[in-house]
Structure 1
């Protein structure tokens, strides 16, 4: 919105306002705007949700230490989403289709998560939407968006799979790219959702991964730099850096209140939407494999749940004390803050390793 205002009004007054067009400037102000909005909203939302008794529902079969989390407001993801959307509307080029693709998944998955959270509070148990209903709507939303992306860009390059370590080998998937993109979006959304079980555990890896994707989107927007690193050149990808900046800023603002001991939890409204947004950004950048590397901490969390359920159904025994795996470490006696910080460290290393693979291709 401010970019449009500058283009049509301020440019008539002085060329000094041309700085608003610069990607670096808009990245910084988008991040700071989202941060300030998130801090402001977070403070008020905590008070409002306490008054309305929108408290986190603690699993009865969870770690005993989690009983102290009762009375902590949830659905803090609303502050994250509003901060991101407002910042995007202020600083992004709204004529760029990539901006609307990510915004669509943020809003729709956010609404889905909001319904899930509200049902948990209304029923006073940890069962919101059924797994079938949640997966159905996630799938419908993701497939609708992916098909729109696929139809709007039917070039050969748009369905190539970029593989780490293989700069001259990019297999052409054709219509199967829709299937890959679907699993990336839905899978990432659910992975972040499963990982959101400890104070600050999910939000910091989201910040790290988003920062990594912001770097890739900036590189992909430069034809010379992208050619040097053998990354697909995408002339629309520059605006994704602004979107990523908004996500980083809003997440940092939320972390202010979500750090141990948390004053508020993001709920499904935050985790589903942020995970979906990461998946869509990776699909738009053709960096699905890179997301797999940088987001491996989320993959491990998801696989721990799959392994636990599968092994129990087959052999009647548990591999882990509890799934996802962060609860396993809790039950082994590791303090929550230590688990969270160690997961942060691993996530940061994975993001750095993922970025290194760009040069290794």
Structure 2
């Protein structure tokens, strides 16, 4: 796609149209996956029903919560050095994760009949959401872009990751430390699995957090990844399949309010929780390779930030200023400043996420 295209010359679709296409596409995909697995789409242990229930409840709850967030003056603080088009978003309420994340967790626990694995993953998801809420609240309280310190945020993420890994040690078979590979191969990691598990939990949550910078981007790409992951693990982990479907549906319900132009942002409350959920499911189901593929967008977004910071430091001159590799990091902001509209970026990232989902499912068959 030509980075110089104007929004009128490029993607001719509205925010609600794009999200509608995504919702229909994921719903049809869920029905297809259920049909291929000989599951009734109307049974609790399916992809379709949990997705539908969570989507409807999340969207409905949002109509009550979003006005409350507006009344509480939880308006987002917009970076002045960011894309100028974002300045008009100042004042849009944030912390939207406080309604769609709990909706998904509750729906998943109820529909799975409170299985232990779903309870554990839900607890980790809500814990990371709590970290994000604390950060969001500090940003609003201080009326700046600075919430809790990066060191404190990292310490909390590592702490909850350690607790989750401790639960894994006592509640999961020893085979969990053998990393599953295609064609029936596995890589025995032994004790090295545990630092890797902690890293995955922290890295995935931060990666989805970095991806949350454009209306509908993080919620949509995570929803696609969740449905693909749910379809992949369904044969061996029906409870976690329900969790993935419920969280996918809740993301779709949230998009009813977060699609361009957004009425609410998820904030760190939502983005940290989503990454934690993906990582926790990946670890529990021994599907880290699949998680890595599905997280391609989040991985590239993170790399763009790392590359930008590293290049700036390496090229720093006597005046203390360095050069920028990108116009702005993460990558989605660079594309915006290169002439792409928000909808162009979101649509292309949705398509890439869907392709990664297909690749993941294809590899998972071997």
**TM-score relative to the length of structure 1:** 0.86
Paired residues of 1:189 and 1:273 also in contact (CA < 8 A): yes
Whether 1:346 aligns to 2:352 is yes
Q: Residue in 2 aligned with 1:50? A: 70
Paired residues of 1:35 and 1:83 also in contact (CA < 8 A): no
RMSD over aligned CA atoms reads 1.5
Paired residues of 1:189 and 1:271 also in contact (CA < 8 A): yes
Superposed CA deviations along residues 107-165 of structure 1, whole A, max 9, x for unmatched, are 1111111110011111111110111100010011011101210232242x22111124x
Counterpart Cα distance in 2 of 1:137 and 1:174: 25
Query: Equivalent residue of 2:95, what SS?
Result: coil
Q: Residue in 2 aligned with 1:323? A: 329
Return the offset for 1:42: 0.7
Superposed CA deviations along residues 296-332 of structure 1, whole A, max 9, x for unmatched, are 0000000000000011111121110100010001111
For structure 1, the residue ranges without an aligned partner over 5 or more in a row are: 1-20, 222-236
Whether 1:305 aligns to 2:308 is no
Q: Residue in 2 aligned with 1:267? A: 267
- Match 1:68 to one of 88, 92, 111: 88
Superposed CA deviations along residues 261-311 of structure 1, whole A, max 9, x for unmatched, are 111100000000011000000111111111111110000000000000011
- Match 1:198 to one of 209, 214, 225: 214
Query: Equivalent residue of 1:53, what SS?
Result: coil
Q: Residue in 2 aligned with 1:133? A: 152
1:155-194 matches, within 5 Å, as: 155=174, 157-164=175-182, 167-194=183-210
Counterpart Cα distance in 1 of 2:176 and 2:292: 19
Q: Residue in 2 aligned with 1:123? A: 142
Paired residues of 1:295 and 1:351 also in contact (CA < 8 A): no
Query: Equivalent residue of 2:187, what SS?
Result: coil
* Structure-2 change in CA distance of 1:23 and 1:260 (3 Å): closer
Paired residues of 2:105 and 2:247 also in contact (CA < 8 A): no
Q: Residue in 2 aligned with 1:244? A: 244
Q: Residue in 1 aligned with 2:165? A: 146
Paired residues of 2:205 and 2:273 also in contact (CA < 8 A): yes
Q: Residue in 2 aligned with 1:6? A: none
Counterpart Cα distance in 1 of 2:125 and 2:336: 31
Q: Residue in 1 aligned with 2:117? A: 98
For structure 2, the residue ranges without an aligned partner over 5 or more in a row are: 1-38, 316-321
